[in-house]
Chain A
């Protein structure tokens, strides 16, 4: 019963974040893409509401939480219904879509048969959530306890907060629902790529590479699937969306969610800022995309600093060991092999090479390259990074791999089918611009 209740709690996330469906570009997405974007927005909303409640001294009882989230859902539905409808653009279906579903089934089997559970789920994500639920707020005393030093006291709170939300609903923590939620994240990632790129071929490759990387690297139940979901939303909005308002809001949701999920979200934020400057985007547009994430990250850092919990975010003040650069790169390239002769990296690169829209792939490629550089930069803070790399590279390499997958999908032709008119238009060439309809 608790697993069912836990699963129900995860499934409420799209309802809580439903307001993003009002955005023009999200309304144009197919149903799976809309649900995925709403789920990401819902996860961020849950984390923000529970954080604010905690700061305001309001305990997380069902009597407090349910009315708040119920009201958010209701307002979102009313707000979205009031918006004018526009033509939904369906991606093509066929063998690629069938294979994609098969891959997601394989991932579900891996997660539900306990073959890809993340160690960190047991070591700190769930313990933090359980402690928070016990205290009915973000438990500063628990985070400050030296016994739990290895749980990283200042690590961003989104994942424990989501787990706390599901734990409140299921009474006792629902472990299998939690590992299955990672597969829901994978499905959401694939759905966003599919619905925004409208390229079933590129989506299939992304699904194959990410399913393999998830399964091989034990990510179920950890924070990486959620981080990658937020990063996918950001990359897809930057790469595929034409409507400026939709793009700004979705990028801001993705970046804010990312920085609140893992420390790596901050390096992703920096990579996106540099990319936006490189693309000469307007200052107002950059500020709109970036400011919300800077504010929420700043608020979290001030919170941990005020409570003397600073740990991982202190890394910036440590020395840099450039002498470790060759070793770091050699080790990272070795880990990137992923027991498949670098196929997960080479296949998207080949896809980009033969794709007709290589220019459109530049944005995710640049973000991915900058993200990879940030990973190297962090490892250089250790004069002997071999152990650190061995214990974390399988996860830290996932964001650049995701960027490569999005780039692979971006390089393809844009198959557009307008539901209302039952017309199929295939775009090709170097511009990759969507028709205005």
Chain B
């Protein structure tokens, strides 16, 4: 066998090996990803928000997004709002109220400061999963994922 033919054979084998490797890896990774996707929720269930199937267990961001959608029709335009998980007081998880900023574009979402000067309290509080026990707030609406509270005048 001359060098040219030998070179061509090596090339063919290399090409074949590359094809086999990429196809095999593509199938394996696609299978693993599909398995992961199925693990994240019912495969054919339509999502209500972009957070619907990101986590199997309880997910505060998912709750915050859906609560913003449900609660916003009760909140007047431009009102101050915050989102909390009441049991975390006083160190509330920041990502929960930050989620509200993008999901309540017509309102003023502020950090959860529920103590101090009463005039500085947010006009509305969206509480995730737990009741908000606060003398200055009363329940305005109930939802499966939490409730909306408004400041008592």
Give CA–CA (A64, B33) in the complex, Å: 44
Give CA–CA (A123, B25) in the complex, Å: 34
Number of A residues, CB within 8 Å of B: 64
Chain A nearest CB, measured from B99 CB (Å): 5
The dominant DSSP class at the A interface is: helix
Give CA–CA (A117, B77) in the complex, Å: 28
The dominant DSSP class at the B interface is: helix
Contact of B18 among A134, A148, A343, A351 (CB under 8 A): A351
Chain A nearest CB, measured from B126 CB (Å): 14
Contact of B36 among A119, A122, A215 (CB under 8 A): A215
Number of B residues, CB within 8 Å of A: 45
Return the chain B residue nearest A412 by Cβ.
B18
**Inter-chain contact B33/A150, CB cutoff 8 Å:** no
Enumerate chain B residues within 8 angstroms of A103, measured Cβ to Cβ. 26, 30
**Inter-chain contact B49/A114, CB cutoff 8 Å:** yes
Chain B nearest CB, measured from A240 CB (Å): 17
Enumerate chain B residues within 8 angstroms of A150, measured Cβ to Cβ. 94-95, 98
Enumerate chain B residues within 8 angstroms of A176, measured Cβ to Cβ. 50
Chain A nearest CB, measured from B6 CB (Å): 14
**Inter-chain contact B21/A114, CB cutoff 8 Å:** no
Chain B nearest CB, measured from A342 CB (Å): 12
Give CA–CA (A112, B23) in the complex, Å: 25
**Inter-chain contact B41/A115, CB cutoff 8 Å:** yes
Give CA–CA (A113, B19) in the complex, Å: 31
Other A-B pairs beyond A114-B51, A351-B22, A356-B14, 20, CB < 8 Å: A113-B47, A114-B50, A115-B54, A121-B50, A122-B65, A122-B98, A123-B95, A124-B98, A127-B101, A130-B105, A147-B111, A150-B95, A202-B18, A205-B22, A209-B25, A212-B29, A215-B33, A343-B25, A344-B29, A412-B18
> Which residues of B are interface residues toward A (Cβ below 8 A)?
11, 14-15, 17-19, 21-23, 25-30, 32-34, 36-37, 40-41, 43, 45-47, 49-54, 61, 64-65, 94-95, 98-99, 101-103, 105, 110-111
